[in-house]
């Protein structure tokens, strides 16, 4: 059994991005810029945004940290997003989700210019993904693929099961696995016999948000298990997979924390550099 070290792989990716940013700047271009937009004062979201800004600084991407009050209106957010769309120093824009309840996150996301959509969540980016055309892909799904790639997991003809079908995670992961020639099943809350479906998986991705939903004996012997879930259980961060029992059967598995999470941030940096290059 191999434990996937997400922190170490994320560090490798960040080192690569730092070198590529340095080359880009040395060639006479402006440093790429990432604008994060946080509406309200949700503590967890503030931590995530803070991590993203720190990661930018580390690779010499310019960070623009925008905070709007919890009572900001739809027009306030749209106005800021439009300003950022027009600002040549801003290569990428990330609207932290979810916003306060009175705002519609997916609808506001649509205001982001497709070329600056480093989260890969606008309908244009989604369309490009599903047509396998060049574009910006969502960061967490990219991070999952990077982990599989760096561990040489053969996806050709592999049985992949993704549990979860959200626009942010489940659906785009399924699309990327399909493009990599896996045979993909996307399971969700209405899926019958979820345990049996999971047992088929050579590659099992859990993106649900229910602590320890996926039991150890649902894991096929030797499978690669990617746990995207981030759940608080008894004050501790834990995944969607019952790790202690799954580890007995998996060939390869991500821990939570220290698995997919760090890759999400690293892929955001890579996307920001890509956006800057595509805009030049």
Ligand X SMILES: NC(=O)C1=CN([C@@H]2O[C@H](COP(=O)(O)OP(=O)(O)OC[C@H]3O[C@@H](n4cnc5c(N)ncnc54)[C@H](OP(=O)(O)O)[C@@H]3O)[C@@H](O)[C@H]2O)C=CC1
| Binding stretches for ligand GUE (CB under 6 A) | 48, 51, 94-97, 119, 139-140, 230, 237, 256-258, 261-262, 264-265
Tell me whether residue 165 is annotated as binding: yes
Nearest-approach distance from CB 53 to ligand GUE, in angstroms: 13
Min CB(140)–ligand X separation in Å: 4
**Minimum distance from CB of 15 to ligand GUE (Å)?**
17
Q: Is position 96 annotated as part of the catalytic site?
A: yes
- Cα separation, 210 vs 214, in Å, equals 9
Residue 3 binding target from ligand X, ligand GUE, none, CB below 5 to 8 Å by type: none
Q: How far is the CB of 41 from ligand GUE (least distance, A)?
A: 15
How many beta carbons lie within 10 A of that of residue 83, not counting itself? 12
Residues 6 or more apart whose Cβ sits within 8 Å of residue 27: none
The backbone torsions φ and ψ at residue 260, rounded to the nearest 5 degrees and listed phi first, read -70, -40
| Residue of 117, 119, 202, 240 marked catalytic | 119
Rg of the chain (C-alpha set):
19
Kindly state whether residue 230 participates in binding ligand X, applying the rule CB under 6 A.
yes
Confirm or reject binding of residue 237 to ligand X (CB under 6 A).
no
143 carries a ligand binding annotation:
no
Tell me whether residue 33 or residue 170 sits nearer to ligand X (CB atom).
170
Q: Is 228 in the site for ligand X (CB under 6 A)?
A: yes
- Note the helical H segments in 163-259: 170-179, 194-199, 243-246
Q: By CB under 6 A, is residue 50 in contact with ligand X?
A: no
Residues of span 130-189 touching ligand X by CB under 6 A = 140, 163-166, 168-170, 187-189
- The item of ligand GUE, ligand X, none sharing an interface with residue 119, based on CB under 5 to 8 Å by kind, is ligand GUE
Cβ density class 51-60: b for 16+ within 10 Å, e for less: ebbebbeebe
Q: At closest approach, how far in Å is the CB of 265 from ligand GUE?
A: 5
- Looking at the Cβ atoms of 264 and 272, the one nearer to ligand X is 264
Quick check: is 240 catalytic?
no
Q: Is 119 a catalytic residue?
A: yes
Q: How far is it, in rounded angstroms, from Cα 34 to Cα 163? A: 31
Q: Which residues contact 19 (CB under 8 A, 6 or more apart)?
A: none
Residues 6 or more apart in contact with residue 43 via CB below 8 angstroms: none
Q: If you search the block for the tokens 């690569």, which residue do you land on? A: 16
- Residue 199 makes CB contacts below 8 A (sequence gap 6+) with 218, 219, 220
Near ligand X by CB under 6 A: residue from 264, 271, 272, 274:
264
- Supply 16's token pair: 């690569």
* Cis upstream peptide for 257 (omega within 30°): yes
Please choose, out of 21-29, 72-80, 190-198, 247-255, the segment that lies near ligand X by the rule CB under 6 A: 190-198
The catalytic site residues sit at 52, 96, 119
Q: What are the binding residues for NADP(+)?
A: 164-166
């Amino acid at each position: 059994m191999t434990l996937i070290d997400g922190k170490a792989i994320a560090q490798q990716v960040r080192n690569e991005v730092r070198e590529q940013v340095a080359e880009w700047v040395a060639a006479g271009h402006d440093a790429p810029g990432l604008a994060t937009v946080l509406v309200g004062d949700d503590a967890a979201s503030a931590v995530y945004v803070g991590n993203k800004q720190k990661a930018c600084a580390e690779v010499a991407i310019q960070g623009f940290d925008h905070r709007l009050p919890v009572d900001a209106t739809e027009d306030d957010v749209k106005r800021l997003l439009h300003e950022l769309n027009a600002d040549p120093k801003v290569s990428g824009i990330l609207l932290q989700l979810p916003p306060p309840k009175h705002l519609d996150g997916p609808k506001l996301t649509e205001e982001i210019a497709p070329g600056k959509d480093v989260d890969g969540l606008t309908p244009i980016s989604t369309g490009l993904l599903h047509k396998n055309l060049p574009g910006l892909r969502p960061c967490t799904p990219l991070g999952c693929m990077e982990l599989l790639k760096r561990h040489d997991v053969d996806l050709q003809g592999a049985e992949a099961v993704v549990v979860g079908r959200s626009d942010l995670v489940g659906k785009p992961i399924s699309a990327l696995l399909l493009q990599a020639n896996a045979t993909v099943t996307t399971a969700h809350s209405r899926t019958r016999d979820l345990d049996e479906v999971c047992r088929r998986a050579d590659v099992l991705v859990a993106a649900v948000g229910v602590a320890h939903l996926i039991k150890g004996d649902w894991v096929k012997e030797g499978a690669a298990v990617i746990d995207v879930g981030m759940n608080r259980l008894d004050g501790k961060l834990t995944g969607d997979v019952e790790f202690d029992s799954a580890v007995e059967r998996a060939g390869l598995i991500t821990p939570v924390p220290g698995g997919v999470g760090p890759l999400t941030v690293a892929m955001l940096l890579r996307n920001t550099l890509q956006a800057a290059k595509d805009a030049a």
